[in-house]
Amino acid sequence: MPPTDRIRDHAGQGATTVAAHRARRRLRADAARQLADLLRRQLLTGGFPDGTLPHESTLAAEYRASRNTVRQALDLLRAEGLVERLPGVGTVVVAEKYPHGLDRLMGLAETLREHGRVTNEVRTMGPVAAPAPVADRLRTAPGSDVLYIERLRRLNGLPLSLDLTYIPLDIGADLLGADLENNDVFRLLEAITGRRLGHAEITLEAVNADANSAAVLEAPRGAAVLMLERLTHLADGRPVDLEFIRFRGDRISMSGLLHRSL
């Protein structure tokens, strides 16, 4: 074989080896992500009652994965702040996410009452001229005043969400003297109007926390937060509460029961 052909053949083998190595790394990363998803579900739903995950070899055997894949999966969970590696102990659960249901219209204190006490720090409250998108969603006259409320909400003292709320002023005026530190707005709205809330339109997406939101939530700057936009209506269909809620993604999980319509 001529020297040039041998060089080309060697280069081709080298390229094939590199490509194969990259493919193996990609497959292992895919498998680690899949395993992390399964383990995350277990540790967030009490699947490890004593707070300690099984040994890596046990996880590898149970999930038919390599030890390297298990280590990568645990590294992913550690990066999320859900587990930590303790010398002489193993991998332990260090964080808890609280469930927030999406199939019922409930305030945060109602939703999390089994997990502790929700308190509200009212950071800003008062009438403001409604921005055009707010006036449109609440069906108020452009430029008319609405009640604006900004609250930092804590569960058992830990920052959980930053809530920005707009309410038509004919209803919101009665909230100015209400105890918003210890009550959900939903309950107060029903008490003020004498009517039940009916339904809400929601949009849920992940956004990066701006510097101010991150500081208020005591979260890393630029961390992903769950943004819930919710427009709540009274039972007669009138929109009464437009909210933009930033949840710490490492402390809340969203769930619901969905039915397929034929």
* Structure confidence at residue 102 as a pLDDT band (50, 70, 90): confident
CATH number of domain containing 239 = 3.40.1410.10
Percent of the chain predicted with pLDDT > 90: 53
Q: Judge if 43 and 144 occupy the same domain.
A: no
Q: Judge if 88 and 22 occupy the same domain.
A: yes
Whether residue 135 is contained in a domain is answered as yes
CA–CA separation, 152 vs 159, rounded Å? 7
Q: How many CB atoms lie within 10 A of CB 166?
A: 26
CATH number of domain containing 76 = 1.10.10.10
Q: How far is CA 212 from each of CA 46, 62, 220, rounded to the nearest angstrom?
A: 33, 44, 11
Identity of residue 87: P
Q: Judge if 237 and 120 occupy the same domain.
A: yes
Half-sphere exposure of 56 (CA within 13 A, CB side): 15
Match 């080298």 to its residue by tokens.
14
Whose CA is closest to 202, among 252, 241, 169?
Answer: 241
Q: Judge if 247 and 205 occupy the same domain.
A: yes
Contact 86, 92 (CB under 8 A): yes
Q: Judge if 123 and 87 occupy the same domain.
A: no
On the question of pLDDT at 17 being above 60, the answer is yes
Taking only the tens place, the pLDDT of each residue in 138-159 is 999 988 999 999 999 999 999 9
Q: Judge if 48 and 167 occupy the same domain.
A: no
Structure tokens belonging to residue 58: 């046990």
Whose CA is closest to 166, among 204, 191, 195, 137?
Answer: 137
* Structure confidence at residue 202 as a pLDDT band (50, 70, 90): very high
On the question of pLDDT at 7 being above 60, the answer is no
Whether residue 144 is contained in a domain is answered as yes
Number of domains in the chain: 2
Q: Judge if 111 and 240 occupy the same domain.
A: yes
Q: Judge if 127 and 230 occupy the same domain.
A: yes
Whether residue 260 is contained in a domain is answered as no
What mean pLDDT is predicted for residues 189-216? Answer: 93
Contact 253, 100 (CB under 8 A): yes
User: Is pTM beyond 0.85 here?
Assistant: no
Whether residue 261 is contained in a domain is answered as no
Q: Judge if 82 and 134 occupy the same domain.
A: no
Last residue of a domain, one of 29, 60, 93: 93
Whether residue 220 is contained in a domain is answered as yes
Taking only the tens place, the pLDDT of each residue in 228-251 is 999 999 999 999 999 999 999 888
Round the average pLDDT of the chain to a whole number and report it.
88
Cα dihedral: 22, 25, 27, 30 (round 10): -130
CA–CA separation, 189 vs 171, rounded Å? 8
Whether residue 262 is contained in a domain is answered as no
The pLDDT, as a whole number, for residue 163 is 96
Q: Judge if 121 and 18 occupy the same domain.
A: no
Q: Judge if 41 and 171 occupy the same domain.
A: no
Q: HEC profile for the chain?
A: CCHHHHHHHHHHHHHHHHHHHHHHHHHHHHHHHHHHHHHHHHHHCCCCCCCECCCHHHHHHHHCCCHHHHHHHHHHHHHCCCEEEECCCEEEECCCCEEEECCCCCCHHHHCCCCCCEEEEEEEEEEEECCHHHHHHHCCCCCCEEEEEEEEEEECCEEEEEEEEEEEHHHHHHHCCCCCCCCCHHHHHHHHHCCCEEEEEEEEEEEECCHHHHHHHCCCCCCEEEEEEEEEEECCCCEEEEEEEEEECCCEEEECCCCCCC
Last residue of a domain, one of 93, 118, 152: 93
Whether residue 205 is contained in a domain is answered as yes
Identify the domain containing residue 45 by its residue range.
3-93
Q: Judge if 86 and 33 occupy the same domain.
A: yes
Last residue of a domain, one of 77, 93, 109: 93
